[in-house]
Amino acid sequence: MFCLPYAGGGASAYTGLLRELTDLTDLPDLTVTPLQLPGRENRIAEPPAFTVQEIADEIAPATDAPYLLYGHSMGARLAFEVVRELRRRGLPGPRRLYVGGAHPPHRKVPLAASADLPDDAFIDQLVRRSGALPELKHVPELRELLLPVLRADFAWIKNHRYAPEPPLDCPIVAFTGLDDGEVGAEDMLGWARHTTAGFRLRTLRGGHLFVKDRPAELAALVAADLTGRHTPPEPDEVHLWLDQHPDPASPGRLLRHHDGQTTITVSHADGLTLVAAARDPGIGVAVMRAGHSATPPAAASSPSEPGSGASSAASSAASSSVSGPGRSHGVPVTPVGEGAGRGGAELSAGEREQIEGAAEQDRRWLALRAVAAKRALMAADGQGADPALADFPDLADPGPWRAQGGPGLDRLARWRVVHLPLHTSRGEALAAVAVPYDRVRLRFDMPAEQAG
């Protein structure tokens, strides 16, 4: 497994992961090879500049045997480009592309804008937002050593231009830190559009630099992925599976797979099925495809951001929950049909007012988020409440959302709703997950036929 570092990092960033993976007995043949970029550690005397072609040259001789690539933050974008460069040379690709804490390559990196700031402001941004060493602010020798590398790396990130090519034919497995305020799970899901071989997302405890701070947890997830080992969700975790074939037997199979330790919740919409497994019975999910109208016709927008150009809302959806063998709860949710009538009935007066007062190009996006959140919330509550009596006060808030319940519905404030934009082989979709705790670690699996 070749490893590429984050901005300003060197090969030593992978010392902990190398140690943890080497100690695992179920991966005896795996070797970990951190690549050292110029200008750092034992290559400190070299200018801190690199090219994708140079890194591909270093990996190319090893591609005649099975190999993996892991890149963290900047290293993830770099690893992606290296895989594409190797493909252009006609060389075999990796068995997995592991990406950690990185915006997908077709999206801009918000932190890259700090590359133009003066030194003090630049370092302050890195310390506050990406977990850089606080000593960079106060130790002149450390600043003198690392600042040129950081400047060069962020110049590469800022200047990187994504060029569309066919998706990769290797699985992409994405990792995100629960406390990473710069790149969250919803951002990492964007990597799914870059593979036709299946996509998985795993959430670790920790911040942006979990590869350095949580190596044992990361090693365990890599090992589980390579060995196909499945474990039941932990108390703060929700496992999600997306499929395109509704299968009534799926919940039962998952319950048996987890020895009845989990609650299974299912949502269907237009050929998509989202299955969730969690320890807590109060979990609700909803999935909606972009393509039909939940509001009066308006300019199209993306389900993941306002005004970016895809239509919204789904033509049909349903949710149900299974608590364990032979037990079920939950309520069906009203399908969204053409026009505002049926989808609009799920919205509160305040939500309709927010949508009507928004820019025309954003209305479908807001309606999609609102209806998906309502369906997940109602599925989690399972008591047949009127969704129009619950209100989300700010539909443009990236979330997580908390509902304000009407008379007798104070219990709805128990849940937080997280939105997950999904790119599938059937087009854009949006999932919503309602959980009865403040933060949730998400584990998401999309099979090969759904990715790309």
List of residues 6+ apart from 329 with CB closer than 8 A: 281, 321, 323, 382
User: SS3 letters for the chain?
Assistant: CEEECCCCCCHHHHHHHHHHHHCCCCCCCCCCEECCCCCCHHHCCCCCCCCHHHHHHHHHHHCCCCCEEEEECHHHHHHHHHHHHHHHCCCCCCCEEEEECCCCCCCCCHHHHHHHCCHHHHHHHHHHHHCCCHHHHCCHHHHHHHHHHHHHHHHHHHHCCCCCCCCECCCEEEEEECCCCCCCHHHHHHHHHHECCCEEEEEECCCCCHHHHCHHHHHHHHHHHHHCCCCCCCCCEEEEEEECCCCCCHHHHHHHHCCCCCEEEEEEECCEEEEEEECCCCCEEEEEEECECCCCCCCCCCCCCCCCCCCCCCCCCEEEEEEECCEEECCCCCCCCCCCHHHHCCCCHHHHHHHHHCCHHHHHHHHHHHHHHHHHHHHHHCCCCCHHHEECCCCCCCCCEECEECCCCHHHHHCEEEEEEEEECCEEEEEEEEECCCCCEEEEEECCCCCC
Place of tokens 């060493």: 133
d(CA 389, CA 346): 9
Asked if 313 and 294 count as a contact pair (C-beta separation under 8 A), the reply is yes
308 is catalytic: no
Of 73, 302, 319, 320, which one is the catalytic site residue? 73
d(CA 37, CA 268): 47
Backbone angles phi, psi at 428, to 5 degrees: -75, 145
List of residues 6+ apart from 43 with CB closer than 8 A: 36, 37
Place of tokens 């090693």: 219
Catalytic sites, residue numbers: 73
